[in-house]
Amino acid sequence: LIDKGFIDKDHIGVQGHSWGGYQIAYLVTKTDIFKAAEAGAPVPNMISAYGGIRWWSGLSRQFQYEHTQSRIGGTPWDYPVRYIENSPIFFIDKINTPLLVMHNDADGHVPWYQGIEFFVSLRRLGKPSWFLNYNGEPHWPLKLQNRKDFNIRMAQFFDYYLKEAPMPVWMKRGVPAIEKGINQGYELIEK
């Protein structure tokens, strides 16, 4: 599509959630083709997630790494290198794509500490990154105001990186926790 002129190779964005969020986190460790990316509820560390449970059901998370989504074929003790190779957390130094990460603290499917682990590691290495958490929300925001907020922030994030729009205040300065829901920081900073 790039060769045929349908896609501007210098302005490609990508977004995914859950398994798609993992795929985004993994992809940006392997390529710089994307100018910006959003990873929702990613699992960047299959080793730390392996020992967890699905909070909504109480089921072990191990089966999905061994046999279903990840298809690694065994435990981390059987295949430690496979777990490392498939865990983006170990390759954050290779990421050059600005990232927006969304992970909610009531997520019963993917442990929200995975999103925190990813974001904190990105920030530790000085990577341009932002973290969104909608308190009390599950795997995907259900409250209308939170769905709207996420869509506005994601659009502003991609507009900034893909369309050279002004940066919004929330990306430049953040929004303090005590101002969450009061001061949204949607205003654009003129260049």
Q: What's the burial of 3, exposed, middle or buried (CB within 10 Å: 0-12/13-18/19+)?
A: exposed
Residue 100 lies in a domain: yes
Q: What is the CA radius of gyration of the chain?
A: 17
Instruction: Please check whether residue 82 lies inside any domain of the structure.
Output: no
Judge whether 69 lies within some domain: no
Nearest residue to 154 (alpha-carbon basis) of 30, 43, 20, 40: 40
The reply to whether 102 falls in a domain is: yes
Query: Which residues on adjacent β-strands are paired with residue 40?
Result: 17, 102
State what percent of residues in the chain have pLDDT above 70.
100
d(C-alpha 116, C-alpha 137), whole Å? 15
* Residue 146 forms part of a structural domain: yes
Lowest mean pLDDT among 71-75, 119-123, 161-165: 71-75
Domain count, the chain: 1
Give the tens place of pLDDT for each residue, 129-150: 999 999 999 999 999 999 999 9
Spatial CA neighbour of 100 closest among 128, 135, 71:
128
Residue 52 has pLDDT above 90, yes or no: no
Beta-strand runs (E) in 65-119 = 99-102
Residue 98 belongs to a domain: yes
Range(s) of the domain holding residue 19: 13-45+87-163
Q: Which two tokens stand for residue 33?
A: 């083709």
CATH number of the structural domain spanning residue 149: 3.40.50.1820
What is the three-state SS of 131-190? EECCCCCCCCCCCHHHHHHHHHHHHHHHHHHHHCCCEEHHHHHCCCHHHCCCCCCCCEEC
Q: Which carries the bigger pLDDT value, residue 49 or residue 157?
A: 157
Decide if 177 is inside a domain. Answer: no
Above 80 in pLDDT, residue 43?
yes
| 28 assigned to some structural domain | yes
